[in-house]
């Protein structure tokens, strides 16, 4: 979590991984910002936590696997992913089975996270 880093960006991901291009776009924005050496954080909330499920197989619906984008995030120095712990619980997702760099946050911690970034984009 950057502490007052200049031009830091928090991307809030609210959409499920498939059904529209919004989920992929949110990750691509994060990757693009990180490629320009901007500190980037990703926060998955609501249906967005479904993007974190490992071993997704979307080939049956004719789209590319979003999990591969998530796996590439450390290559762009996006080391920590944040997730709304209530959403994880709602979908029965165990943080231990999700990406290693995932940090579940409660509501108060999410509110505090917002204050650590200069810019916030919500998808």
CATH assignment of the domain containing 61:
3.40.1260.10
More confident residue, 90 or 67: 90
Q: Would you say residue 84 lies in a domain?
A: yes
Enclosing domain of residue 112: 9-122
pLDDT of residue 2: 52
Q: Would you say residue 62 lies in a domain?
A: yes
Q: How far is CA 98 from CA 34, 59, 64, 93, in A?
A: 22, 21, 19, 8
Q: Would you say residue 4 lies in a domain?
A: no
Q: Would you say residue 66 lies in a domain?
A: yes
Residue 48 CA to residue 41 CA, distance in Å, equals: 14
**Length of the chain in residues, anyone?**
123
Q: What's the CA dihedral at 28, 12, 19, 72 to 10 degrees?
A: 40
Nearest to 1 by CA among 101, 94, 85: 101
Domain count, the chain: 1
Q: Would you say residue 1 lies in a domain?
A: no
Q: What is the pLDDT of residues 30-84, one digit of tens each?
A: 999 999 999 999 999 999 999 998 776 656 556 667 877 888 899 999 988 999 9
Q: What is the mean pLDDT of residues 81-98?
A: 95
Q: Would you say residue 3 lies in a domain?
A: no
pLDDT of residue 99: 80
Q: What is the pLDDT of residues 14-31, one digit of tens each?
A: 998 877 789 889 999 999
Encoding tokens for residue 122? 């919500």
Q: Would you say residue 70 lies in a domain?
A: yes
């Amino acid at each position: 979590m950057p502490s007052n880093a200049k031009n830091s960006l928090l991307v809030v991901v609210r959409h499920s991984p498939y059904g529209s291009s919004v989920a992929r776009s949110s990750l691509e924005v994060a990757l693009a910002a990180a490629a320009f050496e901007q500190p980037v954080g990703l926060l998955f909330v609501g249906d967005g936590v479904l993007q974190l499920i490992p071993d997704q197989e979307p080939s049956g619906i004719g789209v590319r696997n979003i999990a591969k984008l998530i796996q590439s995030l450390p290559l762009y120095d996006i080391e920590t992913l944040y997730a709304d712990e209530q959403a994880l619980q709602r979908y029965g997702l165990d943080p231990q089975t999700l990406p290693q760099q995932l940090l579940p946050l409660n509501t108060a911690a999410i509110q505090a996270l917002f204050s650590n970034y200069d810019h916030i984009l919500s998808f």
